[in-house]
Structure formats: structure tokens, C-alpha cells
Structure 1
Amino acid sequence: MATNWAGNITFSAEPHAPESVPELQELVRSSEHVRVLGSGHSFNRIADTTGTLVSVASLPRVITVGEDTVTVSAGLRYGEVTAALQAAGRALHNLGSLPHISIAGACSTGTHGSGDANGTLASAVSGITFVNADGELVTLTRDDPDFPGSVVSLGALGVTVSLELDTRPSFEISQVVYDALPVERLGSDFEEVFSSAYSVSAFTDWVDPDVMVWRKLRAGTPYEPSWLGARVADGARHPIKSMPADFATQQGGVPGPWNERLPHFRLEFTPSNGEELQSEYFVPRAVAAQAFEELKALGGLMAPVIQISEVRTIAADDLWLSPSQGRDTVALHFTWIRDEEAVRPVVSALEEVLLPLGARPHWGKVFTVDAATLRECYPKVPEFIALAAKYDPAGKFRNDYLDTCLP
């Protein structure tokens, strides 16, 4: 049976891969229950179903570059689209750590990149076309009142077939890695750290007193050999200090196109074999320093199961189920060993200290919070449930995950 990328989920059905939109429409129309599988980079059962599991990866490839937008078929991965955009002199505003993830899957789960002024990947979506429960094509754009609930949709409205994304002129980035930022400066110098580049990532295990910071600067921006007590790395780095940097994107301040610097990993390599679990929580920017103190206090508890934690910032947006809906946000990401029995108690302990700070869990990763708590975390959940019922009144696109999280 098919599994997700991490190998911790075995899907209950083998995926169907329709080769045309009409074939997909008929498959949806004739199925009692349907869920959509992207590139398999979720770490829970959000995509699972005992009914019809659909992959859109075999739909005809569409990359239509316009003056300030690009229209893409849903099954494409970011790396495929960004190369075409760069060749046309255009760019997206933001990218995730991996260029290997599918565009529709990343947007539908609220996946993000980094940068004080940069919204989630979904915030670039200006139009979406999906197959609804009746097998009909529905297109929504930003001027439609349903649009803010349709992009980060968890697959609950239908099967996305294409997306229109905002673009901007291509730009170059120089990536500079710093070693040994004192961990206390993440909080005391928070604004300076995370406003210091177009995109910033800080890597820590919350025990080591030294933090590694990746600053993705606009090409031509000068940078200091010493900065806030940290120093420029003397060679290439992987986010996990003990791992070789072969798969990482170019560092050392060498300028290069946005699509080859904003991700952490190169498109031409597989960054790992997926032997991991991931969790992520999004807190309001105003409580960042307090959240860091809580995480340092839990460092010893996390130590046996954590591989690395990453801190990033995200600009506010208005998408209903986005982790940064209505507020500028700090993302606290955790890469664990692949041992769910050992990881879940640690995740519960994290939630005990982060939820009172307003944390929202990532929809596609490991979390333990219940439906009532999710309604408190994501204030637009009632509106979203009503929207899903509008396009799917019989619950064709629901599964155990949605019944548990958004009943």
C-alpha cells in the first residue's frame, strides 16, 4: 500500500491518478467518499480515506506565465514551477524549505516560508479551480466572498485542479549562515534577528546554547562577519549540525536566483529519506520571547526525540484556516525522530505551554489538540465548516481526520 513521505502513514486505499480533468470529474461524481493526496509530505491522516484516494499528479501539466500571475495545474511541485518562472523573469514572493512539495497540497494546509513581510505560500493564490462534490468545476477569485475560505481548505471543499498565483519580477538572494548566536538573543534581540534579511531561519534544539541562523539577504546587501555575538560559518551547513550539507542550497553569500536560495534544500537532491515526524505551532509575534523561554524550559524533555527546531516569521493574511490569519506570526517547527509513541507525550507537553500563548497547530503535522481547542485556535472554523457544507452538503470529502478536527 502507498505511504506518505515519512513512512509513518500507510494509506487505506491505493491512489487513483486520472489523466484529464473530465476523468477526474467523473471519478469524483461516481465516488461516495473522496480524499486528495498531494506529494505526501503531511505527517497525519489528513489525506487518508477508505473511499477513493485521488492524486492529481497525472493531470496535464499547465504553467501559463502572465504579466503578473502564473496559472499552474495542482499536481505540480514548486521546483517545477519556479524554474519556469525564473526563465520568464518572474518570481513568487516566498517558498518553503523543500521545493519538492506539491503546490496545491502546500497551499491547502497553510504551509509557509519565512520573512517578516512575507505571507504563507497560500497568500500568493489569487484564483482557485476545484471539482466539487457533484463533479462540477468551481472557480473562485479574490473578489468572491467564499475565496478566503477556499485556499487553505484541507481538501474539504473539493479536488483542486489549478491555481493562479501572484508573481513579481525575479530577484537574487545571497544566503549567509551564522554559527553560535547565543540562544538568549533570539528573545532579547528578536526584532533585529528576524528583520535582518528577506527571510530568516533560526535552528536550535532548545538545549544547545548556540543557535544557527540562516539569513537570506537581497543580493548586494552587505553583511557582517560577526553579528549579535554570532560568526559567519566557515563552510556549508545542514540545518542539523551533524549532517552533511551536500543537499543544502548555496551558502557563503554567493548571489543566486530566488528559486535556488529561498528553499533550504536543492531541487535536484532528495534531502532525506523521511525518517522523521514533524510538528509545528504558530504563535502571535508579540509573545515570541515568552514562547522561547517556555521551549528552553522543555529542552531536556525534548532532547531524546528532537532532531532540530526551526524558528521563522510570517506576515498576517486573511485566509480563514491560515496559521497567520489576522496576525503576524512566529512559526515554531519541530523535527522529531520517527517514533510516534515517544513523540506524542512531548507534543502534549509543548501544547500545554504554547496553547495559552495563542498557538495554532499546523494542519498537516503531528498534534494532539481536540476539536473544541481548534475552534479556539482558529476563530474562522465555524465559517469554514459552513462553507464546506455549501460545496459538499453530503460530506463526500470528509474523512476521519475532518470528523475529528472539524466536526
Structure 2
Amino acid sequence: MKKRTFIKLSSALMTAPLFSPITGWAAGDKLKNWAGNLEYSTEKLDQAKSVAEVSALVKKYPKLKVLGTRHCFNKIADTKDQFVSLVQMKEDISIDANSKTVTVNSGLKYGQLSPYLHEKGFALHNLASLPHISVAGACATATHGSGDKNGNLATAVSGIEMVIANGETVTLSRAKDGEKFNAAVVNLGALGVITKVTLDIQPTFMMGQYVYQNLSFDQMKDNFEKIESSGYSVSLFTNWQSKDIAEVWIKQKITDGKPLKAEPEFFGAKLATKNLHPIPELSAENCTDQMGVSGPWYERMPHFKMGFTPSSGVELQSEYFVPRKNAVDAILAIARLGDQVGPHLLTSEIRTIAADNFWMSPCYKQDSVAIHFTWKQDWPAVSKLLPVIEKELAPYNVRPHWGKLFTVSPADLKKRYAKMADFRNVAAEYDPKGKFRNEFLDLNIFGS
């Protein structure tokens, strides 16, 4: 293989993504996020087709934000002023086989990048539960997959290119820029417009997944470490109202071409006899194949297929990270709220994530467990439940997912992010007048 290979993705794939950034706007409706729970504060949107055009737009507007795949459930990416979209930028993918990296346009989705990497013999270390999100947006918010040894998606980043507030293009790398790089990768959209991302890659591999049903909370409590280390990636799904974890999804690498073999029981849980959806009432049609069927890594690590609506679609989401050492206590604390939480849930997922070095990552310097809530779209009810959940998790210095719904106070966030003041200093260096800030960032990051 040559040192570098390039591809230009088909225009049809790039101009008609599942989450088109201008779908609602182009139809004359209000521009909304993917789930429809958030109406953005402006319809002003410019398209950039090159880094030069990004630079020109950054110089033109005193305030702006990037509009990505719109999968955030809160106002972290909102603006009252001006949006810029990168979806029409040149779609080159550059693989460097010697350094085992790939450099991509930041607006590219994982579901577009992954099949090409596999075709060329490469893979990423992990993927989120759905492949429809953009590389830059996912990394900027510390979005993650699962696995004891797997860091969030941002841990694959070895370099970034961004346009800062004065219109200049800046590049940072893991190898050369040390702590400033650690500040910039999980950037929350506060430092500039990310235009390219370089990711670590590895040789491609095949995977299979099995699902087990009805794992008791007692077994979970007594065997949590063994359960979570039983696969490359493990997810536990529950509604918190029964005495069982409803589903255990175990994703495993296939080595030497040998098919996976699943035992009929897993800590008392029974092997599923058909494909399942994390929301039991929904068809598994949209889900990646189970039953141990072999497939490429990118068709097994996500829970949902690229060409389908993931999850429920009409929903709200919250997610909370606690230190791995507190996992069982935190899970049992939520279980005690089952009668309050359960009626408003579609499902809840528990996953493990390895520690990283990114200043604003919920997993900064700590192996973590994430407790995710996929809610029915009833914000009045959910808004009352979040403070209750956060109070139960407060003893474990809980950190919320930056792109999902939470009510943790700015004062508590400041206490739980040791490098927040340093992050503000880096932001001031790249964006001294707050061009990329918005109401969310001013409240939660830059407030006094």
C-alpha cells in the first residue's frame, strides 16, 4: 500500500446525509435538532466549501457557531447570531499507512468514514452507539462508545486543524503540543472552527455480538467487573423498574477467523434467541446484527445501522459519568429511584470508558462508568427528575455529558473539572472576544 491514499466520497452520500444540517431550514420550517426537542435561535446559515471560505466567514461575523449533525439535546451548539455548515467542504480522506493515521474533513460522519477504512484494511478503536454523528462534533463533546480498555472517540485524535477567531488556521498535534493539545481536542466548540481531524487507526478486524436477557441486579452487583470485562464492548440496558438488567449486549473481536461461541447463560441471564432493540417495544430492524453473526467492526460496535433512524428518534437524552470505582454504588442509587424514573424512560444504558487526558472530558484522569437515559419526550417531567438523579450521584462527583440534558450547576461543574480555569485561558488565547461562545458556554464554562 502506498504511504498515502486519498478518496473523494460520492456527492450523493455527502449531500444527502441522514442528518442534513439544512433540512428544516430549507423547507421553511424552524431549524431544529435531530430529536426535535430544541429549536435553534437563528435560521441564518452560511455554507463553507473550503478552509479559505471558513476563514472568510469567521472574519466576517462577530459571533458564529458551527452547525453539525444536530445530535446535541441542549444548547451547546446554539447561537442567536450565525451558523456555518461544513457539510459542503471537500470530502478527501487521507490515510497514512506508515503512521497509521487518517485525516478527514471534520464534518465527515463515522458512518461514511468507517466502511472506507475497512476496505483499505484499517479500523478505528471504537464507535459510538450510532454512526450518524460527525467526527469533529463527537470528539469536541467527548462522545464515547464502550469498553474497559477503550477511551472515548476523542482519544483516537492525534491532530486537529482549526480556524481561530482572527481567521488564522492553527494546527495542533499530540506529538508536538502537549497540554495545549489536551485542552483543544474536547473543545466544546469554544476555541474555533475545526476543519480537519487526524485519527489513529489500526488493522481492521471482524466482530460479533450476543445479547443476554434478564441479568439480576444482584448478579450485576456481585460480578460487575467480570461482566464489563467479558467483551471488547459491553452495554447494560434497564428500565430501573424490574429486578433485572433487561439486556446485556456483548461485542467481541473475532480472532483467527473462528466463529464466536456463546454460552446459553451469562451470570444467570439467558441468551437471546432473536435480534433485540435496546428499547424492547421497538423492532430490531434498525439495529446492528446480533446472534454472533460475524461482520466488520463498524457494523457491530454501533447499536444502530447507518441507513436507519437510530434509537427512537422522538426522545430526550441525559448521561452521567462517575468514577469506575463508584460504579456499583452509583447504579444502585439510581435503581432506588426506579419507580420515579421508569415511567418516563424509553431505556437506560450503562457503559464503561477508559480514562483520558483531555481537560474538559468527563473521563479526564479517571476510568469511568456512564449511566445514560433515553427519555420519552416529556421535558416538564424530565426536568423535574434530573435534579433528583444528580443529587443521588453527587457524592461521586458526577459529570454530565456536555451534549445532553442536565441541571448540574456551573459552580459544581467548576469543582469537578480541575482544568476548567486553564481551559478558559486557552480559549482566551484563541478567541479573546468570545466569537465562538454562546449562552450555554457563558453559563457553564466562562461564568464567574
Deviates more, 1:265-274 or 1:67-76: 265-274
**Aligned position for 2:32:** 3
Quote the residue 1:260 is aligned against. Answer: 299
Instruction: Tell me which amino acid in the other structure corresponds to 2:240.
Output: W
Match of 1:363 in 2: 402
3-state secondary structure, aligned to 1:193: helix
The answer to whether 1:50 aligns with 2:80 is: yes
What is the aligned partner in structure 2 of residue 154 from structure 1? 188
How many Å separate the matches in 2 of 1:372 and 1:307?
Answer: 31
Which residue pairs with 1:213 in the alignment?
Answer: 248
Q: Which moved more, 1:177-186 or 1:330-339?
A: 177-186
Alpha-carbon distance between aligned partners in 2 of 1:29 and 1:370, rounded to the nearest angstrom: 33
SS in 1 for 2:47: coil
Q: Give the whole-Å Cα distance in 2 for the aligned partners of 1:173 and 1:156.
A: 37
Q: Which residue of 1 aligns with 2:229?
A: 195
Q: Secondary structure of the equivalent of 1:366?
A: coil
Aligned to 1:144: 177
* 1:178 partner SS: strand
Bigger Cα displacement from structure 2, 56-65 vs 228-237: 56-65
**Which stretch shifts more, 256-265 or 207-216?**
207-216
Question: Which residues of 2 match residues 122-137 of structure 1 at below 5 A?
Answer: 122-137=154-169
Alignment correspondent of 1:166: 200
- State whether residues 370 and 404 of structure 1, in contact with CA within 8 Å, keep that contact through their aligned partners in structure 2: no
Q: Deviations over 1:87-108 (max 9, x none)?
A: 0000000000001111111000
Q: Report if the CA contact (8 A) 2:322-2:399 is conserved.
A: yes
Structure 1 match to 2:266: 227
Contact 1:206-1:295 within 8 A present in 2 as well: yes
- For residue 371 of structure 2, give the secondary structure of its aligned residue in structure 1: strand
Q: Which amino acid aligns with 1:138?
A: V
Counterpart Cα distance in 1 of 2:106 and 2:439: 24
- Over the residues paired in the alignment, what is the CA RMSD in angstroms? 1.0
Q: CA–CA distance in 2 between the matches of 1:249 and 1:173?
A: 11
Q: Aligned ranges for residues 176-187 of structure 1 at < 5 Å?
A: 176-187=210-221
Q: Which deviates more from structure 2 when the two are superposed, residues 186-195 or residues 263-272?
A: 263-272
Alignment deviations for residues 268-318 of structure 1 (CA, whole Å, 9 cap, x no partner) = 212256211100000000011101110111111112211110000001110
Partner of 1:340: 379
What is the alpha-carbon distance in structure 2 between the residues aligned to residue 406 and residue 395 of structure 1? Answer: 12
Q: Secondary structure at the match of 1:180?
A: strand
1:231-279 superposed Cα distances (whole Å, 9 cap, x missing partner): 1101000001111100000100011110100000011212256211100
| AA in 2 matched with 1:197 | G
Query: Which deviates more from structure 2 when the two are superposed, residues 176-185 or residues 279-288?
Result: 176-185
Distance 1:184 1:397 in 2: 47
Q: With the length of structure 2 as denominator, give the TM-score of the two structures.
A: 0.89
How far 1:222 moved relative to its partner? 3.6
The answer to whether the 8 Å contact 1:187/1:288 transfers is no
Q: Which residue is equivalent to 1:246? A: 285
Counterpart CA distance in 1 for 2:294 and 2:113 is 21
The AA in structure 2 aligned to 1:214 is W
Contact 1:57 1:74 in 2 (8 A): no
Q: Which residue of 1 aligns with 2:441?
A: 402
Q: CA deviation at 1:81?
A: 0.3
Q: Is residue 64 from structure 1 mapped to residue 97 from structure 2 by the alignment?
A: no
SS of structure 1 residue aligned to 2:79:
coil
Deviations 1:99-152 (A, max 9, x none): 111111100001000000000000000000011001111100012031001011
CA distance in 2, matches of 1:131, 1:187: 48
Identify if the C-alpha distance between structure 1 residues 273 and 329 changes in structure 2 by more than 3 Å, giving closer, same or farther.
closer
Which region of structure 1 is more displaced relative to structure 2, 372-381 or 359-368? 372-381
Which runs of structure 2 are paired with 1:32-51 in the superposition (5 Å)? 32-51=62-81
Match of residue 276 from structure 1 = 315
C-alpha separation between the residues in 1 aligned to 2:112 and 2:339? 41
Report the 3-state secondary structure (helix = DSSP H, G, I; strand = E; otherwise coil) of the residue aligned with 1:3: coil
Superimposed CA distance per residue, residues 168-227 of structure 1 (whole angstroms, 9 cap, x where no aligned partner): 000111100101111222221100110000000000011122221000011245431111
Task: Quote the residue 1:392 is aligned against.
Answer: 431
Residue 261 of structure 2 contacts residue 292 of structure 2 at CA under 8 Å; is this kept in 1? no
Q: Distance in 1 between matches of 2:416 and 2:206?
A: 37
Q: Secondary structure at the match of 1:283?
A: strand
Q: How does 1:84-99 map to 2 (within 5 A)?
A: 84-99=116-131
Q: Which runs of 5+ in 2 are unaligned?
A: 1-29
Quote the Cα distance in structure 2 between the aligned partners of 1:12 and 1:248.
33
**Which secondary structure does the structure 2 equivalent of 1:174 belong to?**
strand
